[in-house]
A and B are shown apart, each in its own frame.
Chain A
Amino acid sequence: MITTTGLSKVYRSRGRAVTALDGVDLHVREGEVYGVIGQSGAGKSSLIRCINLLERPTAGTVTVDGQDLTALAGRGPRAGRELRQARSRIGMVFQHFNLLSTRTVQDNVELPLEILGSSGKERSRKALALLDLVGLADKAKSYPAQLSGGQKQRVGIARALAGDPKVLLSDEATSALDPETTRSILQLLRDLNRQLGLTVLLITHEMDVVKSVCDSAALMAGGRVVESGTVSELLATPGSELAAALFPVGGEATGDDRTVVDVTFHGEAATQPVVSQLSRTYNIDISILGAAIDTVGGLQIGRMRIELPGRYEDNVVPIGFLREQGLQIDVVDRAAPQPALPKEGAK
């Protein structure tokens, strides 16, 4: 549905060049919720703004619903008619809502329809239907200043849907909201994705957003996509930074001559008593440092961090045994490099 190839964006100001996007290849399939996560400065914002060409990419192409938007762009900063028409079929939701303060909620939702040239009757019918869809039917005559943050974002979403888009771009839509409201807005996006078959591309710096609504995810750092794939693929990828962040288990090694291993269970494997089998077979003592079971992207998953006595070299055979059981094993390297992922609460 959305494909970018070799997308690059270089900002030039006063002779200095800053590379925001460095050859990004992204593929968002129809009907999925795709999350792009990364720290600020990673290039997420530039990426989403390049998708509807609010930002002109320096190189590369953007294809949305089979249409090459970069070919429509033309020269100069102004958007031609064809690009504007293509944009009207892509909805966009913003972090700061960007509602017109002098218009009522209903008039805000009608704005894209005015641009499309719908009749007054049609506009008001559609705006009211959309407000009903996002649960704000009673606020049609209110002004944005009278609404809470979550309600404003619902208006923003209703407005984004007015042009019957197949694609919704969400630029940090929940980052200005409190956790409770974030949850309800994400739920709404999920529902719209299911009910309308809407493809959603969202960018965020919050791992919880990816965890609760995304089918697929990409991790960005330094203008590049570091990891990407469906959530289940990512969780099955040994050493995946995204997977570790989506589903973290805590616990530090208790000494230098210990080996720490992360064991991930998917589906069937979760039922096997592997820890006691391992202990009995090799006659070793195993400490459990941390364990959790959770649902990630609609998938039941368990993860356990265990500690074996001795260095890695001494534990090659037991670790091999665990792998034979069909479990995903990640040996935790204590000298691991600093992850590209944002820490909790970091912006």
Chain B
Amino acid sequence: MSGTDWSEMQPLLSQACWDTLYMVGWSTLVAVVGGLPLGVLLVLTDRGGLLQNTVANKVIGQVVNIARSMPFIILMVALMNFTRTVTGTTIGREAAIVPLAIGAIPFFARLVETAVREVDGGLVEAVQAMGGNTWTIVRKVLVPESLPSLIAGTTTTVVALIGYSAMAGTVGAGGLGDIAIRYGYQRFETELMWITVAILAVVIALIQFAGDYAARSLHRRGGRSGPGPKLRLLRAKDPAAPDVGKVA
């Protein structure tokens, strides 16, 4: 198994790296653009939400669930016609972006939903009391206040997409997963397979690190706007507290 020619493999690997990032980058962008409004809508149309609409909520929820339960490999095949309409081909990295993005939209939408639900309802109420409309609340409260969680969700999505892009590699999309399978697995070049796996591991670690760092630095200046519930309880029961009633 010493047939690996490194001078031949190096450009192959760097091209594969680039292809993976290309596919993942574009599909992440589409997933965020599509999943963010979908996730916000899931919260707004829910019972007690600002745009309460049970029918719309159920419909969006079901579509998201069905899309999420579809195995990616099936989704790729099912979307072939649609992919051809959009990109003019069903092979190559551009073609892979379509099923990747469509698979990631509902995934990201659920992460957005969870993140937006975490936003304190009191903040929404405060902006309502100022006379803000629903769009103002989404723009100035829901999205900015959930930004650290949204970034963490994007990181998770990117990592999941890298995994999916390897699967897309099996149908001629290129990328690191493709190299690992075609050269490494099918041609028994075990070393090369491990190298691609190692590259993938490093890429994922870097993305996770960058995402965590971004989320944490946003969180550091934030935090809850009120004292924790335990602290309040302690203060209210403090017997040594001076008498407020003496104030005129």
Is B230 in the interface zone, CB < 8 Å from A? Answer: no
Q: What are the residues of chain A within 8 A of B238 when measuring CB–CB?
A: 178
The number of chain B residues touching the other chain, given as a range, is 35 or more
Q: Which of A56-64, A78-86, A327-335 contacts B (4 or more CB under 8 A)?
A: A78-86
Is A27 in the interface zone, CB < 8 Å from B? Answer: no
Is B73 in the interface zone, CB < 8 Å from A? Answer: no
Per-residue CB proximity of A293-325 to B under 8 Å, as 1/0?
001001000000000000000000000000000
CA distance A84 to B222 in the complex (A): 28
A152 — nearest CB in chain B belongs to which residue?
B225
CA distance A36 to B146 in the complex (A): 35
Picked from B51, B133, B227, the residue with its CB within 8 Å of the CB of A176 is B227
B148 — nearest CB in chain A belongs to which residue?
A102
Which residues of B, 161-203, contact A by the 8 Å Cβ criterion?
A: none
Residue contact A96 to B130, C-beta cutoff 8 Å = no
Which residues of A, 164-208, contact B by the 8 Å Cβ criterion?
A: 169, 176-180, 182-183, 186-187, 206-208
Residue contact A179 to B244, C-beta cutoff 8 Å = yes
Picked from B129, B133, B245, the residue with its CB within 8 Å of the CB of A212 is B245
- Tell me the minimal C-beta distance from A96 to chain B in angstroms: 4
Residue contact A176 to B223, C-beta cutoff 8 Å = no
Q: Contacts A212-B244, A212-B248, A347-B236: A100 and B145 contacting too (C-beta < 8 A)?
A: yes
Q: What are the residues of chain B within 8 A of A98 when measuring CB–CB?
A: 120, 122-123, 125-126, 225-226
Residue contact A85 to B144, C-beta cutoff 8 Å = no
Per-residue CB proximity of A87-106 to B under 8 Å, as 1/0?
11010101111111111000
Is B15 in the interface zone, CB < 8 Å from A? Answer: no
Q: What are the residues of chain B within 8 A of A115 when measuring CB–CB?
A: 127, 130-132, 136
A: number of interface residues (CB 8 Å): 54
CA distance A209 to B247 in the complex (A): 9
Q: What are the residues of chain A within 8 A of B130 when measuring CB–CB?
A: 87-88, 92, 111-112, 115, 159, 163
Q: What are the residues of chain B within 8 A of A102 when measuring CB–CB?
A: 144-145, 147, 218, 221-222
Q: What are the residues of chain A within 8 A of B243 when measuring CB–CB?
A: 179, 208
Question: With contacts A78-B50, A98-B225, A149-B226 known, what are 18 further pairs, Cβ within 8 A?
Answer: A54-B128, A77-B50, A78-B51, A79-B133, A86-B131, A92-B126, A96-B225, A98-B122, A98-B126, A100-B141, A111-B127, A112-B131, A152-B225, A159-B130, A176-B232, A183-B244, A345-B236, A345-B237
- 12 CB contacts below 8 A, A to B, read A54-B129, A78-B51, A79-B128, A95-B226, A97-B225, A98-B123, A101-B222, A101-B223, A102-B145, A179-B242, A187-B247, A211-B245
Give chain A's interface residues, CB within 8 Å of chain B. 52, 54, 77-79, 84-88, 90, 92, 94-103, 111-112, 114-116, 143-145, 149, 152, 159, 163, 169, 176-180, 182-183, 186-187, 206-209, 211-212, 295, 298, 345, 347
